[in-house]
Amino acid sequence: MERHVLVVFPHPDDEAFGVAGTIISHTDAGTPVTYVCLTLGEMGRNMGKPIIANRETLPEIRKKELEEACRHLGIEDLRRFGMRDKTVEFADQDALVSQLFEVIQETDPSLIITFYPGYAVHPDHNATGAAVIQAVQRLPVEARPVVHAIAFSEGCEDILGPPDVINDVKHIAERKFKVIEAHASQTSGVIEVMKERFLEADETVEGYMLKERFWTFPVNSDKPEK
């Protein structure tokens, strides 16, 4: 059992598809989970199906969806960093790393879950993962938590190898779907298809939705053993 889990993602719903089951497993076990969400996904293209949002109302809608998702995840400590969607890689990196470092010091996590820098497709994902790794590397080697990183760029397994952590979350699939459904402005239309496939035991859903895959990031790569 982990002491404390820290989850860091840039957008509400980043925690839904690839990580929700893992987070639920931790909160079910009584492990406190802190979720740092950098933006409110203000620049999302999905406006709901049917359309329920516009560019200016989207942030408030997604904020409520994020809070609803956290209730399903059992997360009581949600921290929004107030950055803007799409701008994470351009923002003051030192300030972000410092802010993350403070949260790491305060919550003292035994495990951090974030994106694998360079292998997470969206520039915000890569910038978030990079900032988390830099924050972790401010700690002395012996004090660094384990980092489980999510990679999904084309061909990432050719370079990183297969994921070394695979969490089967089939037994809590229904609750994971609730988390995805909470992000209604982003997922309505998609979730129905996904649920059907799940009930039909479609291998795609089985593989990508119900087995959550992580790569343990080499956090000590900045100080290799001599």
Partner 1 sequence: MRPIDPQKLQETITNLAGKKLYIHLETTNGAYATHKDQSFFSAGAFLRNAQFSFIHGKVKGEGPYRVGLETDIGWLYAEGLTDWEIDENNRVLIAGHDHDGKLAIALQLSETPFPK
- Residue 178 CB, nearest distance to partner 1 (Å)? 23
- Residue 204 CB, nearest distance to partner 1 (Å)? 15
Q: Can residue 49 be called a binding residue for partner 1 (CB under 8 A)?
A: yes
Q: Can residue 124 be called a binding residue for partner 1 (CB under 8 A)?
A: yes
- What is the full DSSP assignment across 86-131? T-GGGS-HHHHHHHHHHHHHHH--SEEEEE-TTSSSSHHHHHHHHH
Q: Can residue 121 be called a binding residue for partner 1 (CB under 8 A)?
A: yes
* Residue 159: count of CB within 10 angstroms of its CB: 10
Q: Tokens 């300030």 identify what position?
A: 95
Binders of partner 1 among residues 73 to 92 (CB under 8 A) are 84, 86
Q: Can residue 160 be called a binding residue for partner 1 (CB under 8 A)?
A: no
Q: Can residue 138 be called a binding residue for partner 1 (CB under 8 A)?
A: no
Find the binder of partner 1 among 30, 56, 140, 174 (CB under 8 A): 56
Region of 56-64, 108-116, 170-178, 215-223 interacting with partner 1 (CB under 8 A): 56-64
Interhelix angle 173-182/20-28, nearest 10 degrees: 120
Q: Can residue 43 be called a binding residue for partner 1 (CB under 8 A)?
A: yes
d(CA 121, CA 105): 29
Classify residue 173 as left (phi > 0), alpha (psi -120 to 50) or beta: alpha
Q: Give the interface with partner 1 as residue ranges (CB under 8 A).
A: 43-51, 54-57, 59, 84, 86, 121-124, 153-154
